[in-house]
Amino acid sequence: ITIRREDYRPPDWQVPEIALDFDLGAERTRVRSTLEVRRNGVHDRPLVLDAEALIIVGVTVDGSPVDYSYEGDLLTVPLAAASATVETVVDLAPRTNTQLMGLYESGGILCSQCEAQGFRRITPFPDRPDVLTRYRVRMTADRADYPILLSNGDPVGSGESEDGRHWAEWNDPFPKPCYLFALVAGDLVANRDSFVTRSGRKVDLGIWVREPDLAKTDHAMTALKASMKWDEDVYGREYDLAVFNIVAVSDFNFGAMENKGLNVFNSRYILADADTATDTDFDGIAGVVAHEYFHNWSGNRITCRDWFQLSLKEGFTVFRDQQFSADMGSAAVKRIEDVRMLRAAQFPEDAGPLAHPVRPESYIEISNFYTATVYSKGAELIRMMHTMLGAERFRAGTDLYFDRHDGEAATCEDFVRAMEEGGGIDLSGFRLWYSQAGTPRVRAALARSGEERFILQLSQDVPPSPGQPEKQPMPIPLKIALFGEKSGTKLDERLVLFDGPAHEIVFDAFGERPILSINRDFSAPVVVETDRTIADLAFLSARDDNPFARYEATQQLMLDTLLSAIAGSEADHAPVIEAVRETLADPALDPAFVAEAVLPPSEAFVGDHMAIVDPEAVRAAREELRSAIGRALEAQWRAAYSANSANRFEYSPAGKGQRRLRTVALNYLMAAGAADAPALAMRQYGEADNMTDRQGALAALVSSDAPERHGALAAFYDRYRGDPLVLDKWFTVQALSTRDDVLDAVEALASHPDFTLSNPNRMRSLVGAFAANQRAFHDPSGRGYAFLADMILAVDRLNPQTAARLVPPLGRWRRFDPARAARMKSALERIVASPGLSKDVFEQVSKSLI
């Protein structure tokens, strides 16, 4: 059944209080739940509670048994009075819960995941975010197996029970939606610290892990304290409980979860040390720890009225974590990374069969809407408001929002209105960004008009998307600058709000030809097409003072070069080589920025710019360009390699930049075919005192013909076979290799004893990575598609959310030639025809076939 935004109705019953009593066990957990319910409005409807896969032991109202019904995941309880005490007793089986929603077991730990609709798998309840409840939780469990018992809020009591069992009670004073409920029981140890808030309250912090992982939690703790301070400084938001706990578990459907006072994390976003985590992992940990912490205000204190408003908390919180990471390191590099992510995940989504607005209109399964559009494009919407308002007025807007809606379940509209009133801006047209899907395309042409003047002509077009054939023009904030071709100076700089189908901006005489720098800082999430020449792009690549625009010019130069090579023209690599040479030689540039700027765009990104993607041609053109850059600048790559070979690992912006540039240089030496490059890689592998260098060397070897690659893979496996997070990397480097035999390797790895369908990280490390390897996945035989379809069907029986997330690569069939498209469609058809499909996979596959 399809749920529609327009059908929203307030809940029939509110539940101001709940007392939960858990008798915990992995085989069987009994949950006694006491709800204080209150009729909301005037009606005579019964109390209807969501209840999924529960064994109902009993139901009473005000102490007496009632005649309830349990059908189709709904428990209906007749109620006569306007308020009542409803008690339910149910049983569940955490050990056999492979969906990882509700209460489940991971590595001997019992833990919960409720967002979006997992609470109904724990106890009957009106499982919707606009029902706000005060929770009191009691847990009883075997002390030996589960010495630590955690829930939301503050601990209020604990003690012994009979038969080696013990109990603990927790109380959360803040009313919350049930998706923020959490419970953890297990044999855990904590990295403990504390934070004093700006008003002087002391908060006890704990990061809970299994004992052998304790040494890998310091980075997460540092990030947590930095986040708490940053939210006070930048948004004026203070933490509100005496305790803040984080638990890391190995089996988790996504990154992490912001449960009130008890965040639960995928262990990959907590555990790190130099030997096992890359710089990207360290960055990801800080970003996700911050993200979940920031949800305490943007999500928990103010939650969502319904799931169509998901971006209210996710878009805003992603924007907040992006700002935090920018402030902690290089803002320019962070912006480049975020845009790269947006283009890799969100632009294709927005252009395909699963496109939806940031505030969707309908869904079958809400889990399918935790998307790049809701998260990353949602964050871009907040960023555009920030750009238009400026930091100070934006803060006035968020102050009003937090103040006005604290303790409420709000909507995206509430946020926009607070921005308008607090920030002093009219956003009536801007609301289109929430309702209209599709990535706007902007054409920009700068032309001479008469002797003296120049005119910038802008036009836009928003492509049709499912259910939205006609589009209105969007209000697009474009940061623009003009540079003098001769003088090299900046002639003009402004923020243009382009909100019609077409617009002209007239510039008076500059005395020289201006060169256009547009969408600087990526001020709007749009595709910009310009008539800039190769020479213009080369100019900007060397001179633009906006780091993002400078990076972008180099990327555009490389993209144009690749596209014309693919189209069959004689490939002229010279301008790209010169641009890379200049970038490498510029002493003013941060190595981290250089490392980003000298890499050609990904194969997928190049494919996105073709009418019909030709994976072989893209691979060939890109490898040829890499090899040309490698050969022409071999001496420079050697110099960069040795200049950036820092001797001791330090996780710092400078250290990260050096490591990144060093491995980029190594890859160019490999691409150049330098005879000593494999030996260099082996030496880097052997001498590395950190995972970034080691994995970088391994990946370079695994994509080459160098015979050393076998030994390196075997050594890596032997060294890390006991560490699942590192073993994931071993699977991923092989799945992402540019060698021709990847498909064979991946099929073999799917039968490796360390491969398992039941762990989402492992699934993604092999299958998800493979589907992202454009050339290998789109093997003309169609074997890649069949492999993915088999995997989706196999994992769907265990874990529908993980299965559904693997569908989008197959849904891109319209972008490929008829032979490939037919094979992709038949893989989808085979999936949709399979009996017992989850609604998660059904929704994604059926929408992909339309």
Which residues would be at the binding site for Zn ion (CB under 5 A)? 314, 317
Enzyme catalytic residues? 292
Q: How far is the CB of 258 from Zn ion (least distance, A)?
A: 6
What is the C-alpha to C-alpha distance for residues 89 and 777, in angstroms, rounded to an integer?
49
Beta strands 502-507; 453-461: pairing state = antiparallel
Q: How far is the CB of 371 from Zn ion (least distance, A)?
A: 12
Say whether residue 314 binds ligand ARG (CB under 6 A): yes
Which run of H or of E encompasses 205? strand 202-209
Q: Which is nearer to Zn ion, 266 or 317 (CB)?
A: 317
Of 21, 130, 169, 258, which one interacts with ligand ARG (CB under 6 A)?
Answer: 258
The interface with ligand ARG within residues 264-293 (CB under 6 A) comprises 291-292
Torsion of CA 431, 298, 331, 217, to 10 degrees: -150
Dihedral (CA of 8, 14, 19, 21) sign: negative
Could you tell me the maximum CA-CA distance found in the chain, to the nearest angstrom? 94
Q: How far is the CB of 376 from Zn ion (least distance, A)?
A: 12
Say whether residue 349 binds ligand ARG (CB under 6 A): no
Note whether 342 and 380 are within 8 A (CB): yes
Q: Residue 159 burial (CB < 10 Å; 0-12/13-18/19+)?
A: exposed
Q: How far is the CB of 127 from ligand ARG (least distance, A)?
A: 13
Q: How far is the CB of 323 from ligand ARG (least distance, A)?
A: 16
Beta bridge partners of 459: 443, 502
Q: How far is the CB of 254 from ligand ARG (least distance, A)?
A: 5
Assign 3-class secondary structure to 73-130: CEEEECCCCCEEEEEEEEEECHHHCCCCCEEEEECCEEEEECCCCCHHHCCCECCCCC
Residue 656: how many CB atoms within 10 A of its CB? Answer: 23
3 state SS of 142: strand
- Report the partner that residue 257 touches, choosing among ligand ARG, Zn ion, none (CB closer than 5 to 8 A by kind): ligand ARG
Say whether residue 367 binds ligand ARG (CB under 6 A): yes
Of 224-232, 255-263, 613-621, 673-681, the segment contacting ligand ARG by CB under 6 A is 255-263
- Report residue 398: phi and psi, to 5°: -70, -35
Say whether residue 321 binds ligand ARG (CB under 6 A): no
Q: Which is nearer to Zn ion, 314 or 544 (CB)?
A: 314
Cis preceding-peptide flag for 748 (omega within 30 of 0) = no
Q: Which is nearer to Zn ion, 314 or 840 (CB)?
A: 314
Q: Which is nearer to Zn ion, 128 or 291 (CB)?
A: 291
Say whether residue 761 binds ligand ARG (CB under 6 A): no
Assign 3-class secondary structure to 219-257: HHHHHHHHHHHHHHHHHCCCCCCCEEEEEEECCCCCCEE
Give the side-chain half-sphere CA count within 13 A for 322: 25
Q: How far is CA 241 from CA 135, 136, 156, 179, 453, in A?
A: 14, 15, 13, 19, 62
Of 253-261, 273-281, 426-434, 682-690, the segment contacting ligand ARG by CB under 6 A is 253-261
Say whether residue 370 binds ligand ARG (CB under 6 A): yes
Q: How far is the CB of 311 from ligand ARG (least distance, A)?
A: 11
- Report the partner that residue 116 touches, choosing among ligand ARG, Zn ion, none (CB closer than 5 to 8 A by kind): ligand ARG
- Report the partner that residue 368 touches, choosing among Zn ion, ligand ARG, none (CB closer than 5 to 8 A by kind): none
Q: Which is nearer to ligand ARG, 194 or 758 (CB)?
A: 758
Of 180-188, 251-259, 345-353, 433-441, the segment contacting ligand ARG by CB under 6 A is 251-259
Q: Which is nearer to Zn ion, 263 or 555 (CB)?
A: 263
Beta bridge partners of 514: 484
Q: Which is nearer to Zn ion, 99 or 317 (CB)?
A: 317
Q: Which is nearer to ligand ARG, 368 or 439 (CB)?
A: 368
Helices 653-671 and 677-687, packing angle to 10 deg: 150
- Report the partner that residue 439 touches, choosing among Zn ion, ligand ARG, none (CB closer than 5 to 8 A by kind): none
One DSSP character per residue, 776-820 reads HHT-TTSHHHHHHHHHHHHHHTT-HHHHHTT-HHHHTGGGS-HHH
- Report the partner that residue 256 touches, choosing among ligand ARG, Zn ion, none (CB closer than 5 to 8 A by kind): ligand ARG
Q: Which is nearer to ligand ARG, 258 or 614 (CB)?
A: 258
Of 249-257, 412-420, 425-433, 652-660, the segment contacting ligand ARG by CB under 6 A is 249-257
Q: How far is the CB of 333 from Zn ion (least distance, A)?
A: 23
Binders of ligand ARG: how many residues, by CB under 6 A? Answer: 11
Say whether residue 693 binds ligand ARG (CB under 6 A): no
Give the side-chain half-sphere CA count within 13 A for 221: 18
Note whether 575 and 548 are within 8 A (CB): no
Say whether residue 254 binds ligand ARG (CB under 6 A): yes
- Report the partner that residue 150 touches, choosing among Zn ion, ligand ARG, none (CB closer than 5 to 8 A by kind): none
* Token pair for 617: 């041609």
Amino acid at 215: A
- Report the partner that residue 228 touches, choosing among ligand ARG, Zn ion, none (CB closer than 5 to 8 A by kind): none
Of 168, 257, 388, 698, which one interacts with ligand ARG (CB under 6 A)?
Answer: 257
Q: Residue 534 burial (CB < 10 Å; 0-12/13-18/19+)?
A: middle
Q: How far is the CB of 126 from Zn ion (least distance, A)?
A: 23
Say whether residue 365 binds ligand ARG (CB under 6 A): no
Say whether residue 52 binds ligand ARG (CB under 6 A): no
Of 254-262, 404-412, 622-630, 685-693, the segment contacting ligand ARG by CB under 6 A is 254-262
Print burial letters for 226-239: b (CB count within 10 Å at least 16), e (below 16).
bbbebbbeebebeb
Note whether 12 and 48 are within 8 A (CB): yes
Q: Which is nearer to ligand ARG, 291 or 638 (CB)?
A: 291
- Report the partner that residue 806 touches, choosing among Zn ion, ligand ARG, none (CB closer than 5 to 8 A by kind): none
Q: How far is the CB of 252 from Zn ion (least distance, A)?
A: 14
Residue nearest to ligand ARG (CB): 370
Q: Which is nearer to ligand ARG, 256 or 388 (CB)?
A: 256
What is the C-alpha to C-alpha distance for residues 26 and 694, in angstroms, rounded to an integer?
39
Of 21, 50, 52, 115, which one interacts with ligand ARG (CB under 6 A)?
Answer: 115
Q: How far is the CB of 697 from ligand ARG (least distance, A)?
A: 33
* Token pair for 404: 């006005």
Note whether 464 and 470 are within 8 A (CB): yes
- For ligand ARG, the binding residues (CB under 6 A) are 115-116, 254, 256-258, 291-292, 314, 367, 370
